[in-house]
Structure 1
Amino acid sequence: MTGSFDKPGYAALRQGRWSAPGQVYLLTFTTHDRLPLFADPAIAVHCCRAIAALAHTPDGELLSWVLMPDHWHGLLQLGGRITLSQWVARLKSTTTRHLPEGVARPVWEKGFHDHAVRQEEDLLQVARYIVGNPVRAGLVSRCGLYPWWDAVLF
C-alpha cells in the first residue's frame, strides 16, 4: 500500500529543509486531493479563527497569510522553540480540530513547500504577493474584498 509520501515530489520537498529561529519562510500547503474545501464560508471562517489563534506566538509569527479554496500561503517568522515542520504540523492539526463536525478528513495533504526568504528579498513584496493570490486567481477584483487573509505587513 502506498501513502501520500510515496507520491513524486514529497521527498524533494524535504531535501535540504532546515529550521532557523528568526528566519522568515514563505509556506504553501494544499487541501487533501486539492478539494476546494474553503470555498464554503462556513468552513473557512472556522479555519481562519484557528490560524489567527496561532498567528502571534513564541513559536512563530505570521506576517501575512491567505486561505484559498484549496490551499494556504503564509509568511512565517519562525520562533526559537520548534522546527519549521513542527510549526506547520501544529497549524494543520489546529485548523483541522477547529472545523465543524462532518467535514471530511483528512483536511490537508501531507507535506508542504517552503522557501527561506533571503535578506535581499523584500518582505513587503512577498506579503503583497500572498494577499494578492485571490485577485490573481480571479476570485475577487481587489484583495480587500477577499475575507480569508491577514497581514501585519502589507
Structure 2
Amino acid sequence: MSALSPVRRGHAALRRGRASVTHQVYLVTFTTFARLTLFKDPDCASAVARALIDRRLWVSSELLAWVVMPDHWHGLIRLGDLDYLPSLVQRIKSNTSRHARQANPALERTWATGYHDRAIREDEALIHAARYLVMNPVRAGLVERVGDYPFWDARWL
C-alpha cells in the first residue's frame, strides 16, 4: 500500500481481492455474534433452517448444501446472474436473523460481522466441500451419523 492508501484491517482486509463471479460455487461460512451457541436451541435452529430455504432468497443463485451448527453456518452457493456475493450474504443473514428473533424474541444479534468465502474450482473439490460441510455435526460430536442431525441439506440427496 502506498503512503496515501489507508491500511485495511479486520473485515475490510478480508474483502481485498474478493471476487464475485457469476456461476462460481462458493463455500461460505459465517459465525454467530460472539460465537454464542444460539442454535443449540432447536426452535431457533429450525427457524433459521426454514429461512435458509425460502425461495425468495434463491431467485438467481442456488443453495447446493448447507448446515446450521450451534455457533455458525456453512453453505455451498452457486452464484447466479443477478446476484453479487456480498449482497446475497447480507440477504441470507437478514432473513435468517429475522426468523431467529421470531423463535427467540430476546435475541438481539444473530450473526457476527463479515463472513468467509472460498471459491470451489473443480467438481471433485465441490463434492469434497459438500462432504466436509455435512460432516460438521459428526466431527463436532453432536451426532454419530449425519442423518441424525436435523439442520442440514444437500441437493445430492
Question: Under a length normalisation based on structure 2, what TM-score does the superposition of the two structures give?
Answer: 0.87
| Deviates most, 106-115 or 120-129 | 120-129
SS of the aligned residue for 2:53 comes to helix
Query: Unmatched 5+ residue regions in structure 1?
Result: 1-7
Cα distance per residue 1:107-150 (max 9 Å; x no partner) = 10110000011126431121111000000111111111000001
Q: Does 1:151 align with 2:150?
A: no
Which consecutive aligned stretches of 4+ in structure 1 deviate over 6 angstroms post-superposition?
none
Unaligned runs of 5+ in 2: 1-8
How many residue pairs get aligned? The number is 147
Partners of 1:56 and 1:126 in 2: how far apart? 22
Q: Which residue of 2 aligns with 1:42?
A: 43
Corresponding position of 2:4 = none
Q: Report the equivalent of 2:64.
A: 63
**Does the CA-based 8 Å contact 1:27-1:113 persist in structure 2?**
yes
Distance 2:131 2:84 in 1: 25
In structure 2, the CA distance between the partners of 1:74 and 1:59, relative to structure 1 (3 Å rule), is same
Alignment of 1:16-95 (within 5 A): 16-54=17-55, 57-95=58-96
| AA partner of residue 59 (structure 1) | S
Amino acid at match of 1:34: R
How far did residue 52 of structure 1 move? Answer: 1.1
Taking a change above 3 Å as real, the CA distance of residues 54 and 36 of structure 1, as seen in their structure-2 partners, is: farther
Larger radius of gyration: 2
Q: Does 1:133 align with 2:139?
A: no
Letter in 1 for 2:81: G
Indicate conservation of the 8 Å contact 1:55/1:62, yes or no.
no
Q: Is the 8 A contact 1:127 1:153 kept in 2?
A: no
Counterpart of 1:145, as a letter, is D
Q: Structure 1's 120 and 46: CA in aligned 2 closer, same or farther, altered over 3 A?
A: closer
Q: Label 1:44 to 1:87 Cα distance change in 2 as closer, same or farther (>3 A).
A: same
Structure 1 vs Structure 2 CA RMSD:
1.7
| Aligned residues with identical type, % of pairs | 51
Other-structure match for 2:105:
102
The reply on whether 1:118 has 2:131 as its aligned counterpart is no
CA distance in 1, matches of 2:33, 2:152: 20
CA distance in structure 2 between the partners assigned to 1:116 and 1:145 by the alignment: 29
